[in-house]
A and B are shown apart, each in its own frame.
Chain A
Amino acid sequence: MSDSSDKGSPLTPAPGSGSGARSSPVTARGRNAFARTTGAAARNDRLFNVFVWAVGIIVILFILGLLFMLLRKGLPQLSWDFLVGLPSEIEEGGGIGPALFNSFYILFLSLAISIPLGMAAGIYLAEFAPDNRFIGFIRICVEGLSSVPSIIFGLFGISLFVDIFHLDLTILGGAVSLAFLNLPMLTRVTEESLRSVPTELKSASFALGSTHLQTIRTVLIPVAMNGIVTGICLTAGRAFGESAVIILTAGVTTSGELWDFNLLSPGETLAVHLWYVQSEAIVPDAGDIAQKATAVLIMIVLAINLVFRLPLWMKARKLKG
């Protein structure tokens, strides 16, 4: 604390202190002892307030502007035919049906694999793992893996599915590789969320005679759910927009049918299709398709967030009632 920050008046002056002379006792008549202070601390406080607001508004405007630019051209042109139509190689008017379907299919499969595994690993690390060097090392590995570039997971996927299992580029390969990409993130988020649950709640549950497993299921996971769902949303959003892994493991083509559940079909997704039409396609309306596909991609990522959060909001509302 520098001298200048000392100017704000304390309620009662410290006896004998020099700075006390500047302030008046609470009981002084005719003066508001609690008047707004005018020292450097108050000025800094106001400046900081303005700064935080300004930055906040700028960031929000930037995000809204970005959304507007991305959606402006594509969104109004969207049609049902485009969403479910088959793509065309040469003429214009192609749709994104199969790619859109593959996006959801692969996302669903990858989450179905990675959420249970990631949560189980997170629960293990938070609740059961002994506190030793080996586990510390595992933790560092998980942390490292969650920031490895996704293309590395793509290369791993190729060597696993194409070189070892001798499969082609398939939906299965894409989904499993994508699951590997999601795993570290989900594991970390689950562990951190569980750790942030207050120990008092854990003790309360144990003191009522619950087993460790019951406590995890009925207290820890429900309380940590908010954090876990945020993590799942982020992961699902990223996985939905992931292209590098899918290009390498599921390919840049579809089987050309709309509802193709075959795990061994090629599995181009919407994000990959977007990259494809922008860089490789020769259809005349490639630009249009890219705009519209962008709009679809963004709307779906927003929708994914909504769908995962809705149950939490409803639960919170019910408790307020």
Chain B
Amino acid sequence: MQATALIEINKLNLFYGAFQALKHVSLEIPQRAITAFIGPSGCGKSTLLRTLNRMNDMIPGARVEGSIEIGGTDIYAGDVHVETLRKKVGMVFQQPNPFPKSIYDNVAYGPRLHGITKKRELDEIVENSLRSAALWNEVKDHLKRSALSLSGGQQQRLCIARALAVGPDVLLMDEATSALDPISTIKIEELAQELKDRYTIVMVTHNMHQAARVSHQTVFFLNGEVVEYSATEKLFSDPSDQRTEDYISGRFG
């Protein structure tokens, strides 16, 4: 990997009660590039993604062992402020989940939480974020309209804009296109391509073509373990593990 690693996951175990969902996961995620997580349903992709912004903290009974360093800081260390971490590690969910507020208020939600109140400043952040999410031209004339009046694809781009508005370094996308039509999906993939120059993107996908199309590095999971991770081209053309080959050639999963 020529890019430097931003995120280093080291011997990570995660338990939901007695059930071990992640087993000895060790992984490096390069900076300003797209990393894709693939694997059959239930293998722990979402779980690992949620450990990166500590959204698992809220699941009762979830317990983590091992370490995750982002930019050299262990995010599970005692002095880490979860809210600040989540500001730096944004997340986009599988189902578009805009707040039932106006388009403007959705994007301004994060900045307002973090103390920005000046209208000029907010206006600027909202415009920039919507531009980055390739939504500005479609909504600039009705920012006061309810976000729920947008189409599913637009809502998902709005959610991306909302995540970008707090100024993250990392963007986590959990099957962010699986609820969308092919055209919206392509749009979001193109968007991811543009964003990767400024952000470190980790995306979970069930669509192997998507992983092959957009990512630089692909991680293949099976039953909570990392089977293989390497440059996307290599993983898809010349996998080193038989199970990876079986999975990408559609023999199971």
Contact = CB atoms under 8 A, between A and B. Distances in A.
Contacts of A200: 93, 95, 97
B232 interface: no
B159 A208 contact: no
Interface string A170-213: 00000000000000000000000000001011011111111100
Contact of A208 (B95, B142, B149, B163): B163
Contacts of B98: 204
6 contacts: A200-B93, A207-B93, A209-B87, A211-B83, A318-B144, A319-B100
B interface SS class: mixed
A215 to B, nearest CB: 9
Interface residues on B, range: 20 to 34
A76 B102 CA distance: 45
Contacts of A222: 100-101
Nearest to B96: A200
A15 B25 CA distance: 51
A214 B97 CA distance: 18
Interface in B64-95: 83-87, 90-91, 93, 95
A219 interface: yes
B128 interface: no
Interface residues of A, number: 22
Nearest to A212: B58
A223 interface: yes
B144 A321 contact: yes
Nearest to A211: B83
A201 B97 contact: yes
Contacts of B114: 209
B131 interface: no
A206 B93 CA distance: 12
B109 interface: yes
Given A209-B84, A211-B83, 15 more contacts: A198-B97, A200-B97, A203-B55, A204-B97, A204-B99, A204-B162, A207-B86, A207-B91, A208-B109, A218-B109, A218-B112, A218-B113, A319-B102, A319-B145, A320-B146
Nearest to B86: A209
B91 A209 contact: no
B110 interface: yes
Contacts of B60: 131
Interface in B104-156: 109-110, 112-114, 142, 144-146, 149
A206 B84 CA distance: 11
Contacts, number: 73
B178 to A, nearest CB: 14
B97 A203 contact: yes
A12 to B, nearest CB: 27
A198 B95 CA distance: 12
Contacts of B93: 200, 203-204, 207
A320 B99 CA distance: 15
Contact of A209 (B144, B146, B166): B166
A208 B145 CA distance: 22
B177 interface: no
A208 B110 contact: yes
Contacts of A319: 100-102, 144-146
B53 interface: yes
Interface in A98-115: none
Interface in B26-81: 53, 55, 58, 60
Interface in A268-321: 318-321
A318 B142 CA distance: 12
Contacts of A207: 53, 55, 86, 90-91, 93, 163
B99 A201 contact: yes
A204 B162 CA distance: 10
A222 B144 CA distance: 17
Contacts of B101: 222, 319
A206 B95 CA distance: 16
Contacts of B100: 201, 222-223, 319
A208 B87 CA distance: 6
Given A203-B55, A319-B102, A320-B146, A208 B113 contact: yes
A209 B110 contact: yes
Contacts of B163: 207-208
Contacts of B99: 201, 204-205, 219, 223
A219 B53 CA distance: 20
B109 to A, nearest CB: 6
A112 B154 CA distance: 43
A218 B110 CA distance: 11
Contacts of B97: 198, 200-201, 203-204
Contacts of A214: 113
A227 to B, nearest CB: 13
A201 B106 CA distance: 11
